[in-house]
Every structure is written in C-alpha cells, then in structure tokens.
C-alpha cells in the first residue's frame, strides 16, 4: 500500500497544489534558517574565536572524558541499579500477599510522582553533603529511585503480558510459585521489556544533566566550566552539549528499535502511564495492533 | 519543621508558581504539539520532515540544555532580556513538551482502526471531512491516557526551572532545607505530597474525561 488511507492518491491538480505547499515550506524553512544564521553572524556569534575551544584538543578531551564519559557512567550505573530495584518492586507488586503488594505499590507510586530534581536535592542535602557520598552518588541514587519505579511498572506489565497459559501450564506440571516466576514468566518478560529498558536509558541520560544543580560531574558541569572560562559563549556551549546528548540518545534509540525487531517482533512496545490511575486506563485503550492509519 | 508550617504561605505561593508554570506551558505545548502532529500525519512530505526533525531533536535534548538556551544564550543575543522569568520558563518547558504532546496525539490517530478511515473514504469524504468527523473524535479519546502522562511529566519537569532562579516548589524546598538541615526528611515529604496531589489531580481529570467520552460513544 502506498501512502496513507486518510487521503486518495492525489490527482494532477492536487499534486500541483502539494508541490506549491512543499515549495512554500522549503522557502520558509530556508528563509528562517538563513535569517537565524544572518542574525547570529551580525551578533558575532559565528566568529571562529567563539567556537575555537571546541576544536582545541585540551577542551575536547575535557568534554568527552570528564563530561560525556562521566555522564554515561552515571546514567548506566543508575540504570543497572534501577533494573534491580525494578525487578524487586515489580515482583513485589505481583505478590500474593496483600501487605507486600501494598507496600511495593506505595513506594513505586511515590517515587514515580515526585520530580527527579526534588529527589536529587533532598538526597544531596540530607546524605550527600560534607562527609556524605557526594554529588555523583546523589545523582545516581535519585535516578535509580525514579527510573527503578518506572521499570517496576514496566516489569509488572511485562510479566502480565506473557500469555496466561504459560503460567497455568507451569503450575499444572507442578512447579512452585518461585519456579513459575523464575523459569517461565521472567525469561519471557525480560524479552518483552528490553526495548523499554533501553528507552529508559535515554531518560536517565537526559536526567543526569540535572546534576548541574548540585555540582555533580558530567556534561553540564563541563559546559558550565567552559562558559565561565570563555564568557559569552553560552549559545555555542549549549549547541555542543545538545549535539552530544542527541547523538548518544539517537544511538540508544536505534539500539532499542533493533532489539525490538530482533527479540520482540510485532508485539506492541510496553508503555506504562505515569500513575496507577492512568496506568489502568492505558492498558484498556492502548493502540490497536497492526498498522495504524497515521503511520507514514 | 515548625519553620515550614509557620511559613506555610511561602509553600503555597511556591506551588501556585508551579501551577501557573504548568498551566501556561501546558497550553503552549498543546497548541504547538497539535500543530506538529497535524503536520506529521498530513499529506505534504516536506511538512512531515520538518515536524519529525523538530520532534527528534527536541525529544533527545535534556530540558536543562533547553533552559540554558532560553535563560543564558538568548539574553546574550539581546533577546528576552526584560522578559519575566515565568514567561521564560513557559517558553522553555512548552517548547520541550510540544514534541511529546505531538507523539501522544499521533499515537491516538494511529489507534483508530484502519477500517474507519477506509469506510469514510469509501463513502466519498474528503481528507478534511474524514479527519473532522471520523478520525479526530476517536483519536482524541484514544490519546487521553498518553496526553495525561505527558502533562504529568511536564508538571514534574517544571521543577527544572528552579535551577535558573524561579521560586517555585522545588526551589522553595531547597530554601527550607538550607535553613533546617536536621529536618530535611519531613520537609521533603511535605513538598513531595504537594507534587503528588498535582499529579493525581491530572490523573483524575484524565480518567473522568475518558469515562465521559466513552459514554458518548
């Protein structure tokens, strides 16, 4: 099938009209970009001196090693912890014992509804300052608690997404509850969850930038150091930071798509709402399987 | 702890700031996001490319970097110099949230069964009629849960502007934490409850809206 079902294959007159729209859009976009560039040039923002530090080896190394590498370290450390947290609380939410289930739900819902920055500031100023564990681990722990709660929900949805007959069959051949979970449900759930976990890495990576507020190492810290050393280069530094973040995130997104295709197939990617309430309804009205009409 | 309760008006004022930021940037994000979503499902290829480029770029940039552009870089260029901080915060959070809104609406359009649009085409409806009478009413219903999630995430994200000197709830917690280093846990709980109330309010609104629209079917 070519094109979308929302409109017919265009006839000659519509094609001409669409061509006009396209030309107008291209002209507008080119004009906008040219306008922005001319404006920046007239302000002297495109001068080589303002960008020089980003091609100087010393600063490039600082950006990549002290900035990007530290950011990646923080993000991946917290995602690994978050997966552990998510497994524990996700299984807890599925427990047969009501108190366990409620306690886990309370913890997960609490950390999902609180802004990461609020959590980070609280952790840093309560246990991080002075003799505490410092800003690096404050960022890691805050991100662990937040992403862990989201992953707990993803995890629960993943276990529930395993066809019911699998668990029933396992019970029927005499497996215990733990065996059913460990040998039958979990291995299949992990496969369904993988893309969601990788997407969560993107979220964690973006949120490491909040460490800026508590002077944690990472890209934004180096960015601040650079615009302090070269006054008036906020724009240039922000552009470079954005490019670095976007490239790493696009790589991760590409990986998630590949994993989705390779291991999960046509199964819809897991998507959980932001709270228990929206989570409930999201499962009921989630996107229909198969190609949708808006898919280009 | 007494400090927080004897200065509770400061807490309320801070949350009022958060609510203002959330409402203003929510409106901005919805308008821009709907526009982007329309461009992404429309028939003009160039518009689709423009919209999806914006979505890809902004979705992968941290909000903090977005704020650096609005709060630091723009004033360097002589833009937004006398603008109130609330407006700057709205610009940053609104621009950042728009692509997520666009994706939520697009997922709603995707959720409308193929046969619906085909049937509308078969009885001779034009693209505009098809969208207005058949696709969009169903798409809005399906996009309520993801939109609610987006708005909740946005409300939480307004905390980032605390970094740039706006006295909203998160900045206010920092203020109280600095003054009462022994009581941080209770102070945190008070502010966390404030955010949880806001978040649950949006959830309740979404559930109510969904129930209402379901009955209208």
Task: Sort out which chain A residues have CB atoms less than 8 A from B111's CB and list them.
Answer: 285-288, 292
Q: Which pLDDT value is given to residue A244? A: 95
Q: Does residue B24 register a pLDDT over 70? A: yes
Q: Does residue A292 register a pLDDT over 70? A: no
Q: pTM to 2 decimals?
A: 0.88
- For the residues A6-20, what does the mean pLDDT come to? 82
B209 vs A233: CA distance, rounded Å: 47
Please count the helices (runs of H) and the strands (runs of E) in chain A: 13, 0
Contact between B65 and B36 under an 8 Å Cβ cutoff? The reply is: no
CATH number, domain A60-276: 1.10.3720.10
Contact between A238 and B69 under an 8 Å Cβ cutoff? The reply is: yes
Q: Which pLDDT value is given to residue A282? A: 40
Q: Which pLDDT value is given to residue A280? A: 43
Residue with tokens 């697009």: B106
Q: Which pLDDT value is given to residue A275? A: 60
List Cβ neighbours of A218 (8 Å cut-off, separation of 6 or more).
Answer: A67, A70, A71, A74, A139, A208, A209, A211, A212
Alpha-carbon distance A291 to nearest alpha carbon in chain B (angstroms): 8
- For the residues B189-207, what does the mean pLDDT come to? 93
Q: Is B6 on the interface with A (CB under 8 A)?
A: no
pLDDT, tens only, A107-163: 999 999 999 999 999 999 999 888 889 999 999 999 999 999 999 999 998 899 889
Q: Does residue B181 register a pLDDT over 90? A: no
Residue A11 pLDDT class (50, 70, 90 cuts): confident
A-contacting residues in B 131-160 (Cβ below 8 Å): 131, 135, 141-142, 144-146, 148-149, 152-153, 156-157, 159-160
List Cβ neighbours of B206 (8 Å cut-off, separation of 6 or more).
Answer: A277, A278, A281, B144, B145, B147, B148
Q: Does residue A283 register a pLDDT over 50? A: no
Alpha-carbon distance B80 to nearest alpha carbon in chain A (angstroms): 14
Q: Does residue A4 register a pLDDT over 70? A: no
Task: Sort out which chain A residues have CB atoms less than 8 A from B112's CB and list them.
Answer: 288, 292-293
Q: Does residue A74 register a pLDDT over 90? A: yes
Whether ipTM tops 0.95, in short, is: no
Percent of chain A with pLDDT over 70: 86
Nearest Cα to Cα of residue A181 among A160, A195, A196, A197:
A160
**In this structure, what is the dihedral angle of CA atoms A213, A219, A221, A225, given to the nearest 10 degrees?**
-150
Alpha-carbon distance A197 to nearest alpha carbon in chain B (angstroms): 16
Q: Does residue A1 register a pLDDT over 50? A: no
Nearest Cα to Cα of residue A40 among B69, B55, B82, B67:
B69
Residue B28 structural domain: 2-215
CATH code at B117? 1.10.3720.10
Residue A293 pLDDT class (50, 70, 90 cuts): very low
- For the residues B164-171, what does the mean pLDDT come to? 92
pLDDT, tens only, B101-145: 999 988 888 888 888 888 888 898 887 888 888 888 888 888 888
**Domain-wise residue ranges, chain A:** 60-276
Tell me the three state secondary structure of residue A188. Answer: helix
C-alpha to C-alpha distances, B22 to A226, B15, B151, B157, nearest whole angstrom:
32, 10, 8, 9
Residue-averaged pLDDT of chain B? 90
Disruptive mutation site among A275, A280, A286 for chain B (greatest number of B CBs within 10 Å): A275
- Domain count along chain B: 1
List Cβ neighbours of A33 (8 Å cut-off, separation of 6 or more).
Answer: none
Q: Which pLDDT value is given to residue A270? A: 67
**In this structure, what is the dihedral angle of CA atoms B114, B117, B121, B126, given to the nearest 10 degrees?**
-150
pLDDT, tens only, A235-281: 999 999 999 999 999 999 999 888 888 877 665 666 666 665 554 44
Of the partner residues B114, B141, B184, the one whose CB lies closest to the CB of residue A5: B114
Other Cβ atoms within 10 Å of B128 Cβ, number = 9
B209 vs B67: CA distance, rounded Å: 32
Q: Is B115 on the interface with A (CB under 8 A)?
A: no
Are residues A296 and B63, on separate chains, in Cβ contact within 8 Å? no
């Amino acid at each position: 099938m070519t094109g979308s079902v929302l409109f017919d294959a265009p006839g000659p007159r519509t094609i001409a009209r669409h061509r006009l729209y396209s030309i107008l859009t291209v002209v507008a976009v080119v004009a906008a970009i040219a306008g922005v560039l001319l404006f920046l040039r007239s302000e002297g923002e495109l001068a080589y001196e303002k960008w020089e530090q980003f091609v100087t080896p010393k600063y490039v190394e600082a950006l990549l090693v002290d900035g990007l590498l530290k950011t990646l370290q923080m993000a991946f450390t917290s995602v690994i912890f978050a997966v552990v947290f998510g497994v524990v609380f996700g299984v807890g939410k599925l427990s047969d014992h009501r108190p366990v289930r409620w306690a886990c739900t309370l913890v997960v819902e609490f950390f999902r509804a609180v802004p990461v920055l609020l959590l980070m500031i609280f952790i840093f100023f309560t246990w991080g300052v002075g003799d505490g564990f410092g800003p690096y681990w404050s960022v890691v722990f805050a991100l662990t608690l937040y992403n862990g709660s989201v992953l707990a929900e993803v995890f629960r949805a993943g276990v529930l997404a395993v066809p019911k007959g699998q668990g029933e069959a396992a019970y029927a051949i005499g497996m215990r509850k733990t065996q059913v979970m460990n040998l039958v449900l979990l291995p299949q759930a992990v496969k369904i969850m993988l893309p969601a976990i990788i997407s969560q890495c993107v979220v964690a990576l973006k949120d490491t930038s909040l460490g800026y507020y508590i002077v944690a190492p990472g890209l934004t810290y180096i960015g601040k150091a650079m615009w302090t050393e070269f006054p008036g280069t906020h724009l240039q530094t922000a552009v470079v930071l954005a490019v670095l973040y976007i490239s790493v995130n696009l790589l991760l997104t590409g990986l998630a798509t590949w994993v989705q295709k390779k291991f999960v197939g046509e199964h819809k990617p897991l998507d959980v709402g932001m709270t228990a309430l929206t989570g409930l309804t999201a499962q009921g009205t989630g996107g229909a399987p198969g190609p949708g009409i808006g898919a280009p | 702890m007494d400090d927080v309760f004897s200065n509770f008006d400061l807490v309320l004022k801070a949350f009022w700031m958060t609510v203002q930021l959330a409402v203003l940037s929510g409106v901005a994000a919805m308008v821009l996001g709907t526009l982007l979503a329309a461009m992404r499902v429309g028939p003009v290829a160039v518009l689709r490319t423009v919209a999806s480029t914006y979505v890809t770029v902004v979705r992968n940039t941290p909000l903090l970097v977005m704020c650096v552009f609005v709060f630091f870089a723009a004033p360097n260029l002589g833009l937004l110099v006398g603008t109130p901080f609330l407006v700057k915060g709205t610009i940053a959070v609104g621009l950042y949230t728009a692509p997520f809104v666009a994706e939520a609406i697009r997922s709603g359009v995707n959720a409308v069964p193929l046969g619906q649009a085909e049937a509308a085409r078969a009885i001779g409806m034009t693209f505009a009629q098809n969208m207005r009478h058949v696709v969009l009413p169903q798409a809005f219903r399906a996009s309520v849960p993801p939109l609610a999630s987006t708005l909740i995430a946005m409300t939480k994200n307004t905390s980032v502007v605390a970094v740039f000197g706006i006295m909203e709830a998160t900045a206010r917690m920092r203020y109280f934490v600095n003054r009462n280093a022994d009581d941080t846990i209770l102070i945190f709980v008070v502010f966390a409850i404030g955010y949880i109330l806001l978040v649950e309010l949006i959830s309740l609104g979404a559930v109510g809206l969904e129930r209402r629209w379901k009955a209208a079917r």
